[in-house]
């Protein structure tokens, strides 16, 4: 199938970058697991209380440094945008526009291939690339938990931990799809600016909605980042609203991806 061939071609062409990025972040977080000390880090919880409200909102309503789940919530899950999302949105938002600017799309579309097959192949490449990176980091963290002597693997709440990883993956797939959406009908510069601006807007709304006036708090429901807060799950093992968050993030990605494919299929691109 043309879509699969395009996806595999893109993955093969960019495999070195994907492997390098995965290895660097995987090693970074494995090192982070190695320095975890529940007694030492517990002393920092009082320090967190002295931080400005805006800083504490960035890491979620609940936080703890004395458990591996709480630590990962602060330094991995709540920082997902900065370690993964920015990279993903920069890649996805510029791919198709660059193909058009460089006229390399002409050769592709002159072949017996449908528009939707081309765009879907490109989209699946970015989705698979993101999944490979995120799963690689997840495996590095899990490996670190089992091999580092300072972490008791049998005390880790695995259901909560793996669910948080799932939500992080869904969040980043939503970020990828946002960048891809703008790339299907805008040039390189506009796609990059609007993709990045939309993600930053979502982040600000999802993280700092409590700072808004009461009449404006409802805006939080439009942000994918509002549905990615796993602090209550990881710190308190509270599963409230977790299914809703998973459904929302999945629906956002699927619906926006379909809209993106329809837009590109109708786009006027002279060949």
Domain-located, residue 271: no
With respect to residue 104, please indicate whether it lies within any of the assigned structural domains.
yes
Look at the chain and report how many structural domains it folds into.
Answer: 1
pLDDT value of residue 49: 60
Could you tell me the residue range of the domain that residue 62 belongs to? 2-266
The model carries a pTM of: 0.89
Residue 48: pLDDT above 70? no
Find the range with the poorest average confidence among 50-54, 111-115, 168-172.
50-54
- DSSP reduced 3-state for 224: coil
For all residues of the chain together, what is the average pLDDT? 86
Neighbours of 191 (CB within 10 A): 25
Does the residue 167 lie in any domain? yes
Yes or no: say if 85 and 175 are a contact pair by the CB < 8 Å rule. Answer: yes
pLDDT of residue 269: 66
Rounded to an integer, what distance in angstroms lies between the CA atom of residue 27 and that of residue 32?
9
Give the pLDDT confidence of 236-270 residue by residue, as tens digits: 888 989 999 999 999 999 999 999 999 998 876 65
Q: Is the dihedral of CA 180, 181, 182, 184 positive or negative?
A: positive
Neighbours of 211 (CB within 10 A): 12
| pLDDT score at 128 | 97
Predicted confidence at residue 39, as pLDDT, reads 67
Are 269 and 109 in contact by the 8 Å Cβ rule? The answer is: yes
Bigger pLDDT: 271 vs 9: 9
Q: What integer pLDDT is reported at residue 148 of this predicted model? A: 86
Q: Note the pLDDT of residue 229.
A: 87
> How confident is residue 196, by pLDDT bands cut at 50, 70 and 90?
very high
Q: Are 71 and 41 in contact (CB under 8 A)?
A: yes
Q: Is residue 6 part of a domain?
A: yes
- How far apart (Å, rounded) are the C-alpha atoms in residues 170 and 210? 24
pLDDT confidence bin for 2, thresholds 50/70/90 = confident
DSSP 8-state code for residue 171: H
């Amino acid at each position: 199938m043309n879509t699969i061939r395009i996806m595999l071609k893109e993955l093969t062409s960019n495999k070195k970058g994907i492997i390098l990025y995965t290895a660097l972040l995987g090693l970074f977080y494995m090192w982070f697991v190695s320095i975890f000390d529940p007694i030492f880090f517990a002393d920092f919880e009082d320090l967190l209380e002295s931080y400005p409200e805006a800083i504490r909102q960035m890491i979620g309503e609940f936080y703890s440094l004395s458990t591996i789940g709480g630590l990962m919530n602060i330094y991995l899950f709540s920082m997902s945008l900065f370690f993964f999302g920015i990279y993903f949105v920069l890649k996805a938002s510029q791919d198709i526009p660059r193909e058009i600017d460089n006229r390399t799309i002409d050769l592709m579309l002159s072949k017996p291939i449908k528009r939707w097959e081309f765009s879907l192949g490109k989209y699946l490449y970015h989705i698979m690339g993101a999944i490979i990176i995120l799963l690689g980091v997840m495996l590095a963290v899990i490996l670190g938990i089992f091999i580092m002597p300072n972490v008791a693997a049998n005390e880790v709440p695995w259901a909560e931990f793996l669910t948080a990883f799932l939500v992080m993956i869904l969040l980043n797939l939503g970020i990828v799809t946002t960048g891809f959406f703008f790339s299907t009908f805008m040039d390189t510069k506009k796609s990059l600016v609007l993709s990045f601006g939309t993600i930053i807007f979502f982040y600000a709304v999802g993280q700092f909605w409590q700072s808004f006036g009461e009449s404006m708090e409802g805006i939080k429901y439009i942000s994918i980042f509002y549905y990615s807060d796993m602090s209550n799950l990881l710190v308190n093992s509270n599963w409230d609203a977790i299914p809703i968050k998973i459904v929302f993030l999945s629906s956002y990605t699927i619906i926006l991806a379909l809209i993106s494919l329809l837009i590109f299929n109708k786009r006027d691109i002279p060949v």
